[in-house]
Chain A
Amino acid sequence: MTLIALNPISVSASVLLPAILVLPVAGVLLGFVLGGRRTVLTALIVAPIGVALAAAIVFAVWRDNQALVYVIGGWSPPLGVALRADGFSAAMLATTAAVISATGWFALGSFGQAVGASETRVTFAFWTLLLAVWAALNGVFLGWDLFNLYVSLEMLTFAAVPLVCLDGRATTLIAALRYLLFALFGSALYLLGATLLYGAYGALDIGLLSSRIRPEPAAWIALAAMTAGLLAKTALFPLHLWLPPAHAGAPPPASAMLSALVVKASFFLIVRLWLNLAPAQMTAEIAPILGAMGAGAIIVGSALALRQARLKLLVAYSTVAQIGYLFMIFPLVAGGRAEANSAWVGGALQAVSHAFAKAAMFLSAGLIAQALGHDRIAEFRGLGRIAAPAVLAFGLGGVSLMGLPPSGGFVAKWLLLTAAIQSGQWAWAIIMVVGGLLAAGYVYRVIAPALTPAREMPHAASASVSSGAALALALALLAVLLGFAPPDLARLLLVGAPAAKMEAPR
Chain B
Amino acid sequence: MNAITLAGLGGAALVGLGLYGLVTHPHLLRKIIAFNVMGGGVFLLFGAIARRGAVAGTGADPVPHALVITGIVVAFSATALAVALLLRVFRDTQSPFFPADPPRDPSDRSGAI
Binding site for B on A (CB under 8 A): 147, 150-151, 154, 157-158, 161-162, 165, 168-171, 173-174, 176-178, 180-181, 184-185, 187-188, 191-192, 195-196, 198-199, 202, 204, 245, 249, 310-312, 366, 369-370, 373-376
Contacts and interface: CB of A to CB of B under 8 A. Distances in A.
Contacts of A204: 63
Interface of B: 15, 18-19, 22, 28, 31-32, 35, 38-39, 41-42, 45-46, 48-49, 52-53, 63-64, 67, 70-71, 74, 77-78, 81-82, 85-86, 88-89, 92-93, 98-99, 102-103, 109-113
A312 B81 contact: no
Nearest to B99: A174
Given A177-B86, A180-B81, 8 more contacts: A158-B77, A158-B78, A173-B88, A176-B85, A178-B98, A181-B82, A191-B39, A375-B112
9 contacts: A168-B88, A170-B89, A177-B85, A181-B31, A188-B15, A188-B38, A198-B64, A202-B53, A369-B113
Contacts of B98: 174, 177-178
A170 B64 contact: no
Contacts of A310: 111
A195 B31 CA distance: 23
A180 B63 CA distance: 28
A184 B78 contact: yes
A199 B85 contact: no
Contacts of B88: 165, 168, 173
Contacts of A174: 89, 93, 98-99
A188 B111 contact: no
A170 B93 contact: yes
A245 B102 contact: yes
Given A170-B92, A177-B89, A376-B111, A188 B42 contact: yes
A174 B113 CA distance: 18
B89 A198 contact: no
Closest 3 CB pairs of A and B: A199-B49, A170-B92, A177-B85
Contacts of A150: 71, 74
A350 B15 CA distance: 36
A369 B112 contact: yes
A17 B13 CA distance: 40
B113 A370 contact: yes
Given A158-B77, A169-B110, A195 B42 contact: yes
A180 B85 contact: yes
Contacts of B78: 154, 157-158, 180, 184, 187
Contact of A199 (B53, B89, B102, B109): B53
A410 B40 CA distance: 47
B49 A198 contact: yes
Nearest to A165: B85
A159 to B, nearest CB: 11
Contacts of A154: 74, 77-78
B17 to A, nearest CB: 12
Contact of B82 (A180, A191, A311, A375): A180
Contact of B70 (A147, A157, A181): A147
Nearest to B49: A199
Contact of B111 (A184, A191, A195, A369): A369
A194 to B, nearest CB: 8
B22 to A, nearest CB: 6
A230 to B, nearest CB: 16
A178 B88 CA distance: 13
A27 B41 CA distance: 36
A170 B93 CA distance: 7
A249 B111 CA distance: 8
B36 to A, nearest CB: 9
A374 B112 contact: yes
Given A188-B38, A192-B15, A245-B102, A158 B81 contact: yes
Contacts of B45: 192, 195-196, 199
Q: Which of A168, A184, A185 has the most CB of B within 10 A?
A: A184
Nearest to B64: A198
B24 to A, nearest CB: 12
Nearest to B85: A177
A170 B97 CA distance: 12
A40 B51 CA distance: 49
A196 B64 CA distance: 11
A297 B88 CA distance: 32
B68 to A, nearest CB: 9
B81 A366 contact: no
Contacts of B111: 310-312, 369, 374-376
